[in-house]
Amino acid sequence: MKKLLSTFLICASILTPAFVFSQSVFGQGGANIVGVVTDDVGNPLPGANVIIEGMKYGAASNTEGEYSFVVPSGVVKNQQVNLVARFIGYRSQKAAITLSPGTITHNFKLEVDVLKLESVVVTGVGATQMKEKLGVAIAKVAPELVENADQPNIVSALSGKVANVEITKTSGDAGTNTYIRIRGPASIDRGNQPLFVV
């Protein structure tokens, strides 16, 4: 029994370093892509997507804006690839890197894209959707038009500024409600009052 145990220990002591060495050799061919995604003033952007264009490799940044992912050695061939960072409301950024074994660090500083911010709409079902994909009409009123309307409340200030929306006061007395009717008096279910989502 002692002879069997000693033989096992000798074999284990020989094979373990060989296994560790083989793992380190095979693992050296991969590329570890790391970096930080921030806005133009240096604030981290959590949840930004960083991917290699045309490949399935990538990661999302954490709460500190840091991202990291590994590209296997079989894919790493010292080739030029494009690393792309994307975040809603910001311009995507592309960087050319050489995909080589080891650690590759690249930081992204994204700029706000005003047009992209305007095209994202929060719908009444709690989901966001691109403006051009919605099956409904969307009207937008500039804030300065409401501020300069000289009306007692925001609903009255919208009068005459949105197409197909009729806004009238129920009475001339102070503090009375405002009546809103959308798309004329005819409706299948006789419901023309708007739903306000705050």
pLDDT at 24: 41
What is the pTM for the complete model shown? 0.48
Question: How far is 185 from 168, CA to CA, in rounded Å?
Answer: 13
pLDDT at 7: 52
Domain ranges of the chain: 30-114, 139-188+190-194
pLDDT at 56: 87
Q: Report yes or no: 70 and 30 within 8 Å, Cβ to Cβ.
A: yes
Pick the CATH number of 30-114 from 2.60.40.1120, 2.40.50.140, 3.30.750.200, 3.30.565.10: 2.60.40.1120
Question: How far is 62 from 8, CA to CA, in rounded Å?
Answer: 46
Residue 10 in tokens: 């000798």
What does each of the 198 residues of the chain score in pLDDT, given as a tens digit? 455 445 544 544 554 444 444 444 344 579 999 999 999 999 999 999 999 999 989 999 999 999 999 999 999 999 999 999 999 888 999 999 999 999 999 999 999 876 554 555 555 555 556 655 566 667 777 777 777 777 666 777 777 777 777 777 766 665 566 777 776 665 555 555 665 554
Parallel, antiparallel, or unpaired: how do β-strands 93-99 and 120-122 relate? unpaired
Residue that has been written with the tokens 């200030």 in this structure: 157
The count of residues in the chain is 198
pLDDT at 16: 46
Question: How far is 157 from 148, CA to CA, in rounded Å?
Answer: 9
What is the DSSP secondary-structure string of the chain? Answer: -HHHHHHHHHHHHHHHHHHHHHHHHHHTTSEEEEEEEEETTS-B-TT-EEEETTSS-EEE--TTSEEEEEE-TTT-SSEEEEEEEE-TTB--EEEEEEE-SEEEE--EEE-B-HHHHHHEEE-TTS-EEEGGG-SS------HHHHHTS--SSHHHHTTTTSTTEEEEES-SSTT--EEEEES-S--TTS--------
pLDDT at 149: 72
pLDDT at 80: 94
Q: Report yes or no: 116 and 88 within 8 Å, Cβ to Cβ.
A: yes
pLDDT at 166: 76
Question: How far is 111 from 96, CA to CA, in rounded Å?
Answer: 18
